[in-house]
């Protein structure tokens, strides 16, 4: 066990406030979901994606832009811009999965299914596992995403002797390779291979036993991620992705694979980058802990997340979800357009349990991504006084804390 003396940000027994205390502090208007407002944002976001495509398709052509390097630069800008807009669509679909778009379940699920299918995301499959994440956030054995390994598991997974692994694990080269892979293919790797998710054995121990021989693939209706009653929803999710894939194939035949890659798949890499970076940094940080069943409770898990900022990108394209994730884990049905107000309301009640990064803006966000990926590699149990067990810290937390500045509300 590590002997961790720096526990100023940890309340081992969990928050003293109750969820109702937070609810009472939030203005009731923040809980109101507007169908008109929700549909407006979905429509506007889709319209922006279409308009950007039509503008570039019509004007960034050899007969108009003769210099090929300028065309390349413009198409790279297109991929970046479309990646931002498509990430906004992903976020709106995520809102739908939490029933935050409107008061109507059918409308929420229909819109979410459409938006996520357009991005090759199995809507209902992800909705099911994401609900489990919200139920067990920061539980070392029951959470489903960005689950850190214990030190011995991390070392064993590397396939290297412990001493060699410890010598190279936080070197810039190793960190750069791991971060590059995560940002390039992290999202599809999670959907298909459960990368960064809970181990298969832990899933089986919590499941009903209906699919103990299944995979941990979001596209497989017999996956251990799901129960038998979920099979039709998984198949429907797969059908949505298949329709999108078929349409992309049609475009490739009608035009060319090169153009489809430029139009769709390069922006998709940006979506992968933003979604992975955002969700990773919302749940992974040197100041945050993981817990086992002996100490975990919902309030403690919901508070084990951190608000950050990406500057204008977060407010213009990402609906402020990066800045309001702590609130989201407590009240996921509050729509994004009320989240800033609601966050301000719960901060005084949460006190030390509310965390936000003092680092502001895109550059600071990317720096945090690098430093977190470099230092938050594995966890080990903390040796606490008073007989408290079941609390796990990132093993090199102390070194990591020196690289960060935080605003912790008193």
- CA-to-CA dists, residue 37 to 84, 94, 116, 241, 386, angstroms: 21, 16, 19, 27, 51
Instruction: Give the pTM.
Output: 0.91
Which is more confidently placed, 398 or 66?
66
Segment among 178-192, 205-219, 294-308, 318-332 with least mean pLDDT: 205-219
Which tens digits make up the pLDDT trace of 359-381? 788 999 999 999 898 888 889 88
Helix 266-283 to helix 172-193 angle (10° resolution) is: 100
Q: What is the mean pLDDT of the chain?
A: 88
Contact indicator for 314, 306 with CB cutoff of 8 Å: no
Longest dimension (CA), the chain: 75
CA dihedral 149, 151, 156, 160 (to 10 degrees): 130
Side-by-side strand order, sheet with 290-291: 149-150, 378-381, 391-394, 290-291
- CA-to-CA dists, residue 210 to 26, 204, 220, angstroms: 41, 9, 14
Most confident of 9-18, 122-131, 144-153: 122-131
For residue 164, how many other CB atoms are within 10 A of its CB?
11
Q: For residue 406, what pLDDT is reported? A: 36
Contact indicator for 124, 237 with CB cutoff of 8 Å: yes
Going from N- to C-terminal start, the domains of the chain cover 1-31+284-410, 153-229
Which tens digits make up the pLDDT trace of 213-263? 568 999 999 998 999 899 999 999 999 999 999 999 999 999 999 999 999
Q: For residue 202, what pLDDT is reported? A: 67
CA gap 187, 399 in Å, rounded: 29
Q: What is the CA radius of gyration of the chain?
A: 22
Query: What is the band of 5 on the pLDDT scale with cuts at 50, 70, 90?
Result: very low
Which tens digits make up the pLDDT trace of 199-225? 765 665 555 556 655 689 999 999 989
Residues 6+ apart with CB under 8 A from 237: 113, 117, 122, 123, 124, 125, 126, 218, 219
- Please report, rounded to a whole number, the percentage of residues in the chain having pLDDT higher than 90: 69
Q: For residue 65, what pLDDT is reported? A: 94
Q: Which two tokens stand for residue 195?
A: 């990368």
Which tens digits make up the pLDDT trace of 377-396? 889 888 776 667 888 988 75
Q: For residue 287, what pLDDT is reported? A: 82
Span 302-331, average pLDDT: 96
Convert 323-359 into a string of H (helix), E (strand) and C (coil): CCHHHHHHCCCCCHHHHHHHHHHHHHHHHHHCEEECC
CA dihedral 38, 42, 43, 47 (to 10 degrees): 150
Q: For residue 360, what pLDDT is reported? A: 80
Most confident of 2-6, 160-164, 406-410: 160-164
Query: What is the band of 404 on the pLDDT scale with cuts at 50, 70, 90?
Result: very low
């Amino acid at each position: 066990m590590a002997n961790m003396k720096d526990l100023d940000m940890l309340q081992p027994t969990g928050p003293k406030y109750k969820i109702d205390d937070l609810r009472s502090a939030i203005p009731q208007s923040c809980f109101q979901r507007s169908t008109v407002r929700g549909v407006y944002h979905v429509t506007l976001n889709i319209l922006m994606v279409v308009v950007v495509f039509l503008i570039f398709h019509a004007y960034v052509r050899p007969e108009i832009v003769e210099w090929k390097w300028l065309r390349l630069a413009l198409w790279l800008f297109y991929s970046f811009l479309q990646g931002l807009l498509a990430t906004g669509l992903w976020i709106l679909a995520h809102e739908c999965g939490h029933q935050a778009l409107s008061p109507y379940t059918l409308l929420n699920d229909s819109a979410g299914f459409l938006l996520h299918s357009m991005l090759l995301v199995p809507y209902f499959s992800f909705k099911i596992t994401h609900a489990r994440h919200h139920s067990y956030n920061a539980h070392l054995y029951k959470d489903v995403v960005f689950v850190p390994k214990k030190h011995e598991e991390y070392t064993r997974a590397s396939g290297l002797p412990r001493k060699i692994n410890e010598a190279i694990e936080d070197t810039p080269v190793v960190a750069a390779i791991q971060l590059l892979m995560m940002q390039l293919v992290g999202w599809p790797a999670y959907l298909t291979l459960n990368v960064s998710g809970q181990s298969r054995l832990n899933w089986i121990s919590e499941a009903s036993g209906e699919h103990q021989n299944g995979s941990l693939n979001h596209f497989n209706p017999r996956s251990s991620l799901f129960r038998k009653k979920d099979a039709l929803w998984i198949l429907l999710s797969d059908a949505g992705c298949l329709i999108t894939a078929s349409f992309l194939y049609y475009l490739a035949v009608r035009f060319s694979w090169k153009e489809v890659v430029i139009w769709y798949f390069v922006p998709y890499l940006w979506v992968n980058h933003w979604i992975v970076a955002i969700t990773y940094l919302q749940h992974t940080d040197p100041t945050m802990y993981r817990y086992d069943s002996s100490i975990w409770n919902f309030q403690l898990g919901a508070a084990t997340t951190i608000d950050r900022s990406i500057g204008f990108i977060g407010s213009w394209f990402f609906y402020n979800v990066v800045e309001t994730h702590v609130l989201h884990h407590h009240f996921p049905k509050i729509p994004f357009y009320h989240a800033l107000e609601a966050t301000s309301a719960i901060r005084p009640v949460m006190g030390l349990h509310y965390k936000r990064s003092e680092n502001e803006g895109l550059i600071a966000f990317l720096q945090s991504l690098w430093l977190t990926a470099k230092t938050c590699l594995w966890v080990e149990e903390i040796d606490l006084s008073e007989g408290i067990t079941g609390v796990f810290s990132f093993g090199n937390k102390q070194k990591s804390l020196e690289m960060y500045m935080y605003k912790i509300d008193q």
